[in-house]
Structure 1
Amino acid sequence: MPGIDECLLEVMRLPGARGAAVVDWTSGLALGTIGESPNGDHEATAAETAEVARMAAEQPVFAGDAAVAGPGTRTPGAVPPHPPGLPGLAVEDVIITTAPGYHILRFVETSFDSSVFLHLWLDRAEGNLALARMRLGDIAERLVLA
């Protein structure tokens, strides 16, 4: 089971990868970084992407309950169910598209109350978004946080 450094090295092997980080979205701290940062500062990028991740993770509209239970079947105030494989968090990833590239924020599911995600900055001309998303999911599943 690879740790943070090994996972980041594997992420950077993806075609078009420009930079990556493992970030705690509650604190906005980078637990590990590699490659370039979109704004030249890995810590500032971690804090900024943590805001996006936190907003997506905490919104009831992204809880996945309508897709699982069907429209109109949720009881107001009830805790929404989580899709299989994501017991603690319904959002799997967030993809942000910019003119020069993509930012993929992939949430990491852990045995403890995880608030960690992988951030990949992918060059639009050289990268493959679908491949990167699938591989990032595989890497996130294997990541060991000690």
Structure 2
Amino acid sequence: MSSIEAALKDAMAIDGAIGAAIVDADSGMALGTLGATSDLDLNLAAAGSTDLVRATRRGLDLLGLHDQALEDTLTTLTRQYHLIRPLTRPGGRGLFLYLVLDRARANLAMARHHARRIDAELEI
């Protein structure tokens, strides 16, 4: 099992990782952050990504996709990937992992696989 701090360190071990956060989807507050650059305020990005999570969930509700679970959400920028993975572990409901990856260095499939593993091992 893994703590938030250990999960963030694990996330930063992903090739191309620039920053990582564990975020409360209700409040938009980051429970922990690691990494980032002068161009990226992880606390602000975490709060903004909360709006994306809420909008995606509303969209799924409107479509009646109640039997579908949101696995992850990807925003693709010219130089970055922003990956959001809602946490599914007991105690992690309402939280999500937010990853910012350098698009030139990241392998998106491996990053998604790694995020799934972090979710499976995280204990809140």
**TM-score (norm. length: structure 1):** 0.77
Match of 1:138 in 2: 117
Amino acid at match of 1:122: L
Per-residue displacement from partner, 1:43-82 (whole Å, max 9, x unpaired)?
211110111111112322566x4xxxxxxxxxxxxxx334
Match of 1:81 in 2: 67
**CA drift at 1:110:** 2.8
Q: 2 CA distance for matches of 1:8 and 1:113?
A: 14
* Structure 2 counterparts to residues 88-107 of structure 1, below 5 A: 90-107=69-86
Q: Which has the larger radius of gyration?
A: 1
Q: CA RMSD in A?
A: 1.9
Distance 1:62 1:142, change over 3 A: farther
**CA drift at 1:39:** 4.6
Residue 108 in structure 1 maps to residue 94 in structure 2 = no
Amino acid at match of 1:43: N
Segments of structure 2 that go 5 or more residues without pairing to the other structure are: none
**In percent, how many aligned pairs have the same letter?**
35
Distance 1:93 1:61, change over 3 A: farther
* Structure 2 counterparts to residues 1-146 of structure 1, below 5 A: 1-36=1-36, 39-59=39-59, 60=61, 65=65, 80-82=66-68, 90-112=69-91, 114-145=93-124
Structure possessing the higher relative contact order (Cα contacts under 8 Å, 6 or more residues apart)? 2
Q: 2 CA distance for matches of 1:81 and 1:38?
A: 41
Q: 2 CA distance for matches of 1:11 and 1:112?
A: 19
Aligned residue pairs: how many?
123
Q: 2 CA distance for matches of 1:93 and 1:44?
A: 20
